[in-house]
């Protein structure tokens, strides 16, 4: 009956090993949250950029979960400006990249999923990154929307790594 003590020892070793692995496993993570004050400051900075460049824009800022936390339309923006900005922001959030990059991917046929998934892969939105973590996205209803958003991010959050196409 030497097998029984050996099996008991093996079972004990496995149980201790499993318990140690479970204790070391992370079950949560820290998620940075974009504050409403920061979102308002980003909108104000984008408005400043647009005023300096003599364009009227509408903008929508989403948190990491896709909730609208700030929107603004300057005087003279088309009636669909906020809707366009919101669609762009949702696309940047879902694909985690500048919408100009998503647009390029769709136009070249590299990936058509954004088009048939109901996204709006048109230039004008960027994900908002803080310390390498995506905390939201900003969409701007203008051909230069990504420049406006990047200016606002740089002013409010500080210089951050740009995506390959957000120049």
Q: Give yes or no for residue 16 having a pLDDT over 80.
A: no
- Which CATH number does the domain 36-156 belong to among 3.30.450.150, 1.20.1180.10, 3.40.800.10, 3.40.50.300? 3.30.450.150
pLDDT tens by residue, 72-98: 999 999 999 999 999 999 999 999 999
- Closest C-alpha among 129, 51, 67, 68 to residue 59: 68
Burial 51-64 (b: 16+ CB within 10 A, else e): eeeebbbbbbbbbb
Residue 8: CB partners within 8 Å, gap ≥ 6? none
Q: Provide the whole-model pTM.
A: 0.79
pLDDT at res. 8: 65
pLDDT tens by residue, 19-72: 656 567 888 888 899 999 999 999 999 999 999 999 999 999 999 999 999 999
Neighbours of 104 (CB within 10 A): 16
């Amino acid at each position: 009956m030497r097998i029984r003590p050996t099996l008991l020892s093996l079972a004990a070793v496995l149980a201790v090993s499993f318990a140690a692995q479970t204790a070391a496993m992370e079950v949560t993570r820290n998620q940075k949250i974009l504050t409403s004050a920061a979102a308002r400051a980003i909108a104000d900075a984008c408005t400043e950029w647009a005023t300096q460049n003599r364009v009227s824009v509408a903008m929508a800022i989403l948190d990491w979960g896709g909730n609208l936390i700030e929107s603004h339309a300057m005087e003279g923006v088309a009636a669909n400006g906020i809707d366009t900005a919101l669609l762009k922001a949702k696309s940047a959030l879902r694909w985690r990249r500048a919408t100009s990059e998503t647009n390029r991917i769709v136009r070249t046929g590299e990936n058509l999923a954004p088009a048939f998934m109901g996204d709006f892969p048109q230039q004008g939105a960027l994900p908002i990154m803080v310390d390498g973590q995506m905390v939201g996205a900003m969409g701007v209803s203008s051909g230069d929307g990504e420049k406006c958003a990047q200016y606002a991010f740089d002013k409010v959050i500080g210089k951050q790594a740009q995506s390959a196409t957000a120049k």
